[in-house]
Every structure is written in C-alpha cells, then in structure tokens.
A and B are shown apart, each in its own frame.
Chain A
Amino acid sequence: MVSRWMYISLVILYSFLLGPFIIIFMASFGANANLAFPPQGFTLDWFANVFETSQFIDSFWVSLQLALLSTIVSLVMGMPVAYALTRFQFAGSGLVETIFSAPILVPGLVIGFAMLNFFVLLGDMQVMTGLFIGHTAILFPYSVRVISASLRNLDPYVEDAAVSLGANRLRGFLLVVLPNMQAGIAAAFVLGFITSFNNVPVSLFLSGPGVTTLPVSMLSYLEYYFDPTIAALSTLLVIFTVVLVQTAERVLGLSQFV
C-alpha cells in the first residue's frame, strides 16, 4: 500500500516539475498565434521567429559574452581565495568564508537593487560594465566554493612532496596542485556560466537602453506579445542547459562538487 501511495505522489511531483516544460515544449510547435494548450497544428515558424527577432539575437550575444567573461574573471579571482581558505589558517578565515557565502543567501533582487543604487552613485558607467561587475560578484562565491571543494579533496602534503623532490613552489603548484584542480575549475565554470546566463533579478536592475540580457528581453517581449515565440526560445534554452550540464556531468562528475 505504501509503495502505491509513494508511486502516486511521485507521479504528482514529477508532473508539477516537468508538466510546465512539456506544455511549453508542445506549445512551441503549435500553429495558433497565441500561446495555447493543447496546441493545434504543427509549425516551426516560432523557432524561425526566434532567430529573426533582433532583440533576442542581440541579447543572446550580450548574455553569452557576459556569462563567459564574468565566469572566467570570477574563476581567476576565486582560485587564490579558495587556495588560501583551504591551505592556511589565518585570523578571520571563518569570517571570510561566511562573507563568500553571503551572496548565495541574499535575494537576487536585493543584490540587483543595491548594485543599481551603488553604480548610480558612482556616476557614469557603461551598462555592460555594470552587468559584468554585478554578474562577477554573484558568481564569485560559487567559484570559491566549488574550487575549495576540489582542493579539500587534495592532500595538502603533495606540495611538500613535490618540493622535497626538487620542484620550486611555483612548479609544485603548476605540476601537482593545478592538474588536480582541473575538474573543480571546470565544474565551477559550468555552474558559473549557467548561473550567469539564466540570471534575471540582477540583470533586470542593471540592464539599460539597448543592452539587455536574454532572460530580461524575454520578460519584456512577454509584456507585448503572447505568441509561442517565447515557448520556442524557452525550449531552445532548456535543451542548451541540459546538454551543457549533462556533458559536464559525464566528463567531469559535476555532482561531486555542488
């Protein structure tokens, strides 16, 4: 009896989780001019429309550049922090660790709003620069945490071993520590990229005239149109994200770090 109830609740759970995706997925092929379910007819026009709508194409490039740039910068900045946090005990190391998890705990809207105010105070700033700083800031704690996890799995004495065998500190790091951080860095990259690419709340505040990210431009498109173009775009984004995460999981075992 228990197993039957479990089975039923599982079905309910999954239909709530996956149901909306299925509806969006099916609707994106529907021939109606309005987003409707069940869809009638079959067409790929909405997919074509995605690629013909310049606001999507432009904001896709903004999102892509933004995600790549802020992920890479947050990784470069996060690596030494993660290294210091895992290898050295210093005054306030606990506080530093807490500060680095704070952006995960603070609501994105609050971060976005605070940053907008801050950037306005700073005066003239390019929209792209603001977005870049904002995204780097929210990705930074992820980078630190994921890279820290991969460093914690590495025996700290391997560096001493390398040095005792004749490597200087830098070579020891490059030949022994860095290769063992690779998987962690790659995992942090995938996680950071997706977090940035999908981010709405921070981008919403920091977007400006002519420069906006893909999720934000989808929101504004929805305010004026209710055709299945958005459904088609959503389908493309889901496929893009799933492929990215699955590849990372297969190649790197992402789940051991997150």
Chain B
Amino acid sequence: MPYLEIHDLTVSYEKNKPTLERFSLHVEQGELLSLLGPSGCGKTTTLRSVAGFIKPDAGQILINDRDYTRLPPNQRDIGLVFQSYALFPHLTVFHNVAFGLRMRRIPKDEVYSRVANALKMVGLEAFADRRPAQLSGGQQQRVALARATVIEPQVLLLDEPLSNLDAGLRVEMRQEIRRLQQQLGITTLYVTHDQVEAMSISDRVVVMNQGEIEQIGRPESIFAAPETVFVADFMGFDNHFTAVVESVRDSKLTVNWGGNPIELRWHSKFGSPQSGARAEIFFRADNASLLAGREASGLAGQVILHTFHGNELQYLVETEVGELSIKQDSASERFAPGEAVTVQAQTQKWIAILEDREQNA
C-alpha cells in the first residue's frame, strides 16, 4: 500500500511554464525512493512540495491517507535533511537535535532520552556539547540526520545530502543513511543527481527529466535495462549509435554489425518496432571485446588511443558507427594506436531503444 502519494501535482514558478505538470508518484511504506536527474529536472521541486515549502497550483499530496496538500510546512511532521546541513550555528549538537521535540512541547526527561538515543544512533553521543562549527562535514550531516529523525516523522526527505562531502566520506555516509533508514523503517524520499549514489542506496529509483518521469524501477533494472535514451545516457552507457532495424522477432530485434546480424533486447514507447525503423543502440565500454586484425565476425575498426586504468585498458576505436570506447582486461592482448582491430559485440548486455514515434507507429 502506498504511504506517500503524489497525485497530478502541478507546480509553476513562472506562469504557463510549469516545472511539474500532472506529476504523480507513489512511495511504499518503509521504502527508500530516489529521485534522480540533472539539475532543473523537478526533483527538488517535488521534494519541497512534499515538505510544504512550495504551494502547488494543482494536485494532491497524501501521506498515510491524510491530505497534506494545504497543510503548512510546520504542521507536516516531516524530517528534512539539506545539502548544506542547515544546522543552527548558535546551538549545541544536543539543542540542535532537541529543537523539533521542543517545538512539540515534549517533557524534558523525554527530550533528553530521545536526543541521547538519536545521537547514539549516528555515533555522536560524545559530541552533544559541541557547536556545529566544531564538527567535520560528515559529523554535521549526522547531526542533521539525528535532528530530522528524532521527531519520528511520517516521511524523511533528503535533498542532495552528500553533495558537500568528499568522495570517500560520501560512500561511508550513504551506507550510514541506508542503515538508519532501514533500522527506523522510515519512508524516505531521496533527491540526488548522482546515479551511483541512487543505485547503491535505493529500493526504487525514479529517473526524472524536465518534470517528467523517464523511468521508475529497481536500481538493477534501471541499470541494466534503460527504457529511454535519456536514462541510458544518464546511467553511464558509454557507447551510443543509431542503427536501422532489419527484423523483429518477439523480444529481440536484429541490426547490422559489420555485415553480421546481431540480436538485441529492445524497448519502445510505441509498441513493437517495424523493420526499417531507427533504433538507438547503447552498450557499456566493458560489453565489447577487441580482436587483432580484420575478422568477419565483428565490426572493423582502428585504435585511436588507449589509456591505462590499473586492471583495465580503455581503448578509443574509430569505426563506421562512430568512435567507440571499449575496456579490456590489462592481461589481454594489447593494441597500439593505429592498429586495425575487430569489435566483437557482447549483445546480451546491449540495448536498443526506439523513441521515434512516426517510424514506429
């Protein structure tokens, strides 16, 4: 049963230019759902609408079957974590975390024990008397997490919570957030522009673009089977070229690869593709291999550049479908720039996406 429901939400900052138009989304109880997309895609607008800081033009927001749409933000019972932490600089860690409980007029002893417990959960019980300025970025974000969860909110909202941290700390903190979220079983909306972060932390990921949902699903399925060109680009498919569909058979379609037919999984918004339609083919750099010389089994190419990345070598290969980026194991045969090679497709991990309505109608 959905716990947080957004129905047909329309938000516009400028007249007739809605950031979100009839946007709908359901989050299950206890689920961590990520809103993933580039800046300006509407993910933060969605989050701030749920928090109540943005008044929607139309639509409805329900939490646990209660209508939140017109409720002022301070009566929503929602935990909010910001990119900038937004800790209160003049208060100690203890009083930062206690703030929400004080606003709820909770008795002193209970405030004390709940704050102590929340600080223990984020491993900061020894820092209760410090000021935010005396803490590291990671510690500050832990305080922000404790402050947002100690009030036992209906929903936890996190707005790019790791963007101000350095790479190593980001990995540590996202595990911390996930652990805390699962421990508390709290329904969570997580906004990020980092696909690795979204993949690693979420139960489900929503990829957004220009106020619309491009794809929604489990991280594994979005990673392996993007349904739109935008999602494929965003999910780090390194190679993209356009090909003509030769034939279609059930779940596979056939395109030409250096004179050989290759069968690929396909996804189309507009029903089964016709032969002759244009398909966008995507594959990752490690889903192809290189053979020396010209072979009939693959696509002919010429090495332009190679770079060394420890366990693997990355090649840039010029072919008739464009420049392809291909990763090979360092232990395998090496090719020098200028050398003729054949690119072999590992087609089970490739994907064909059909987006052109006219050709597929």
Contact = CB atoms under 8 A, between A and B. Distances in A.
B86 A168 contact: no
B73 interface: yes
A231 B134 CA distance: 49
Contacts of B100: 165-166
B265 interface: no
Chain A facing B: main interface SS: helix
B104 A164 contact: no
Interface in A138-175: 154-155, 157-158, 160-169, 171-172, 175
Nearest to B79: A164
A158 B73 contact: no
A180 B96 CA distance: 14
Contact of A161 (B75, B76, B82, B90): B82
B51 to A, nearest CB: 6
A164 B88 contact: no
A166 B103 contact: yes
Given A157-B82, A167-B103, A162 B88 contact: yes
Contact of B73 (A154, A155, A164, A175): A164
Tell me which of B75, B84, B86, B87 has the highest count of chain A C-beta atoms within 10 A of its own C-beta. B86
A56 B277 CA distance: 96
B73 A163 contact: yes
6 contacts: A154-B89, A160-B53, A161-B80, A163-B73, A165-B147, A166-B104
Contacts of A171: 103
A161 B79 CA distance: 9
B80 A158 contact: no
A68 B225 CA distance: 71
Interface residues of A, number: 20
A211 interface: no
B147 A158 contact: no
A73 B78 CA distance: 39
Interface of A: 154-155, 157-158, 160-169, 171-172, 175-176, 179-180
Contacts, number: 67
A196 to B, nearest CB: 29
Tell me which of A158, A165, A180 has the highest count of chain B C-beta atoms within 10 A of its own C-beta. A165
Given A164-B76, A166-B74, A168-B74, A155 B103 contact: no
Interface in B9-27: none
Interface in B48-85: 51, 53, 72-80, 82, 84-85
A257 to B, nearest CB: 16
Contacts of A175: 99
A155 B87 CA distance: 8
A161 B88 contact: yes
Given A154-B89, A179-B90, A180-B90, A165 B84 contact: no
A217 B100 CA distance: 57
B317 interface: no
Contacts of A158: 86-89
B151 interface: yes
Contacts of B80: 160-161, 164
A171 B72 CA distance: 14
B36 to A, nearest CB: 22
B74 A167 contact: yes
B151 A155 contact: no
Contacts of B90: 176, 179-180
A142 B6 CA distance: 48
A43 B304 CA distance: 94
B181 to A, nearest CB: 17
Q: 10 closest A-B pairs (Cβ-Cβ)?
A: A166-B103, A165-B100, A157-B86, A164-B80, A161-B86, A179-B90, A157-B82, A163-B74, A158-B86, A163-B73
A164 B86 CA distance: 11
Contacts of A168: 72, 74
A180 to B, nearest CB: 5
Contacts of A172: 74
A186 to B, nearest CB: 14
A180 B74 CA distance: 21
Nearest to B76: A164
B146 to A, nearest CB: 12
Tell me which of A163, A168, A171, A179 has the highest count of chain B C-beta atoms within 10 A of its own C-beta. A163
Contacts of B82: 157, 160-161
A176 B103 contact: no
A33 B283 CA distance: 98
A175 B88 CA distance: 9
Contacts of B87: 158, 161
Contacts of B84: 155, 157
